[in-house]
Structures are given as structure tokens and as C-alpha cells.
Structure 1
Amino acid sequence: MGKKFPALLPEHEAFIKKQHMFFVGSAPLKADGHVNLSPKGHDVFRILSPTEVAYLDLTGSGNETSAHVEENGRITFMFCAFEGPPMIMRLYGTGRVVLPGTPEWEERIPHFELLPGARQLFVADIHTVQTSCGFAVPFLSYTGERETLKRWAVQKGEDGIRDYHRERNTLTLDGDMTPLGRRLSEAD
């Protein structure tokens, strides 16, 4: 078992800022529900305080995390050192979904570059930071971000993205409504 901390220390923040990707984990409460683990790239993660973080979520083929977080708040972030000294860092917290157009979105979005296809923000209060060795994580060299998702979102345009959200981002694999799906159904 690794070391545990109640909040991010300056060295934890420095480690996170060096990483080019992170993973987000969430799960519904029902025993037969799907656990979700998503890789995230681009410069979308922000440390707001030693116990509060957020990330700008871009449109993707699923929207599991939003429904899970709305249901139970549980969210985990994982960072791995693929370059330099080995380390894995997990941030365990209670999150919430922040949709565009809400007062909290307006308050939080200045912390981010607004990327094409931005879908929602996740803001999380961190209650445990855990570090572990990462000795088995391979070395991987960062050569750049994939621009495919950004190009896809620009090509779709706002109306196309909204249609895609309706088609692919309203329900989870388990059939649970997402916050974005609820908003879209209320708008119809």
C-alpha cells in the first residue's frame, strides 16, 4: 500500500502538472452496473486548491462518469509517471457535474482554455491522495496531443455536437440518464 495524504502537497501538484494524461474512474451503486475508466488527454485538468480539482470534459462516445457522479459523487483520478522517476498517484474524491450555462460553469471556465466539443466540467473535493511506487509502469515517450477530437468537434459544429449529445451522451451503458441528457430532454 502506498502513502496517504489528506490533501495535495506542493510536490504532488508539481507531479500532476508534468503529466500529459490522466485516468478517471467512477461506478454506479448497483452491483451489476458498469465500472467506468476513461483516459483523458489535452491540458484539461486543474488544481483549484489542495483539496479541490476540476477537469474540462470533452465530448466522447460515452458519458458514464456524469451519471455515476450525479448518483453517488464517487470519483477517482489516477496519474502515472511514464517518464522520469516512477510514481502512481490517485486522488479520491466527491465530485459534481457542472453543465455549460450554469453560474458555476461561468465561475469555473476561466481556469480553462475552452476547447472544441467541451461538454461539461467535473469538480471534485479530494479527501485522500495516495501515492504508490509505479515500478511496473512502462516508459513511454510523449510526442504530442492527438488533434482528432478537436477537428471532429469543429467539423460537427454546435448543432452537430448537440445532436451527437442527444444520440450518444444521454444514457449510460446501464440505461441511466446523464445530467446532460436530462437537460437535453427538458429542452425538447
Structure 2
Amino acid sequence: MGRQFKSISSAQREFIASQVVFFVSTATREGHINLSPKGIDTFRILSENKVVWLNLTGSGNETAAHVMESDRMTIMFCAFQGAPKILRLYGKASVFHPGDPQFDKMKELFPDIPGSRQIFEMDVELVQSSCGMGVPLMEYKGHREELLDWAKDLGEQGLLEYRKKKNTLSLDGRPTGLPDYN
């Protein structure tokens, strides 16, 4: 049975810090539900009820489009090593793009990662833990470098052109809020 909490405890903070991957889920009233795995050094806990994560340029931009229409977000961590555990954070999210004062301020929380596209901030309303006994044991071998290499090779101008082509609309044709690249 799952247990529910109103905030992130110090033990839960340690569990989150030890995970190398997390999953983000968002949805609008209609259309596709989005569930994305995230990795690298892109997640920060600001307080017991506030987290932020850095989003990197990728093939889509569903999360941003969804958050602009419906601020609901769920973030999930699960243990692939050690004791079985799943931890979910439920809350309301905001998205900040380069040029937004909040983006520029929060960007300092993260290393300089090629392809950084947005920062999401979530006010955590509910924390839920569950057993995770169905999650397989897996060995972590390291982060993949392909996304970072791709972003470095494209360079800033190439990334802007890519985002304009691939990241301004969601699968359902919703705007993602990226700055006007014209």
C-alpha cells in the first residue's frame, strides 16, 4: 500500500538524489498523455514543496504545451537498484523559457548542459511512496552522451533552427511557448 505525505522528507530527498532517471507525466483535457524519461544532472529540490528540472532539446516538446494549458504534473522516481521503492511527486507546474527572468535565475542551479531548452518548476502538493517490488533490478552503466554530443554539434544557431522546426507545437498542435525565433 502506498503512503501519502504533504511534503518531501529528508529521507525522500536522499532517495531522489540517488536516482539517475526520473519520469515526468502531463496531460491536457483531451489529446495525448505525455510520459517522458529524464536523466543527466537536471533535477533539483528547492524546498520540501518545490522542485525544478532542466529540460533539454529533444524530438518533441509535449510537456511545455501541456503545462501551458493544464498545470498538473506528476514526477516519478523508482529504484532500479537496492530496496524496492517508487516515489511520486504530484503538483502544479510552470514552464520558463530562455529570456524569462525565472529561467535565467534558475539556470544557475544546473551545470551548463548543451541543448538546455526550458526549466520547469513544480509546487509539490502530494508525495506518495509505494513498494516498487514489480520494478526490475537493473545495473546503471552511465548516462548516454548522444544527446549532449548532438546538441554540441548543432551549436546554438542549429538548436534554434531545430526547435523552430520541431519544438514549437505539440503532437496535438498546441503551442509550446518557445520564444519567437523569427
TM bracket (short chain): over 0.9
For structure 1, the 5+ residue unaligned runs are none
Helix, strand or coil at the partner of 2:35: strand
Q: State the shift of 1:114 in Å.
A: 2.0
**How does 1:22-37 map onto structure 2 within 5 Å?**
22-30=22-30, 33-37=31-35
Q: State the shift of 1:103 in Å.
A: 1.0
Helix, strand or coil at the partner of 1:39: strand
Alignment partner, residue 3 of structure 2: 3
Structure 1 CA distance, aligned partners of 2:154 and 2:111? 19
**Identity fraction in percent:** 49
Give the letter aligned to residue 23 of structure 1. F
Which whole-Å deviations, capped at 9, do the CAs of 1:23-47 have from their partners, x for residues lacking one?
A: 00000122xx000000001010000
Q: State the shift of 1:70 in Å.
A: 1.0
For structure 2, the 5+ residue unaligned runs are none
Structure 2 CA distance, aligned partners of 1:63 and 1:20? 22
Give the letter aligned to residue 141 of structure 1. E
1:65 corresponds to which of 59, 63, 66: 63
Q: 4+ residue stretches of structure 1 with deviation over 2 A?
A: none
Structure 1 CA distance, aligned partners of 2:128 and 2:80? 18
Which whole-Å deviations, capped at 9, do the CAs of 1:82-137 have from their partners, x for residues lacking one?
A: 00000000000100001112111122111111200000000000000000000010
Helix, strand or coil at the partner of 1:152: helix
Matched, 1:158 2:156: yes
Q: State the shift of 1:10 in Å.
A: 0.3
**How many residue pairs are counted as aligned between the two chains?**
182
Alignment partner, residue 97 of structure 1: 95
Report the structure, 1 or 2, having the larger helix content: 1
1:113 corresponds to which of 100, 107, 111: 111
Give the letter aligned to residue 94 of structure 1. K
Structure 2 CA distance, aligned partners of 1:60 and 1:152? 10
Q: State the shift of 1:80 in Å.
A: 0.5
Cα RMSD (Å)? 0.8
1:52 corresponds to which of 37, 50, 53: 50
**TM-score for the superposition, normalised by structure 1:** 0.95
Alignment partner, residue 81 of structure 1: 79
Matched, 1:122 2:124: no
Structure 1 CA distance, aligned partners of 2:90 and 2:68? 16
**TM-score for the superposition, normalised by structure 2:** 0.98
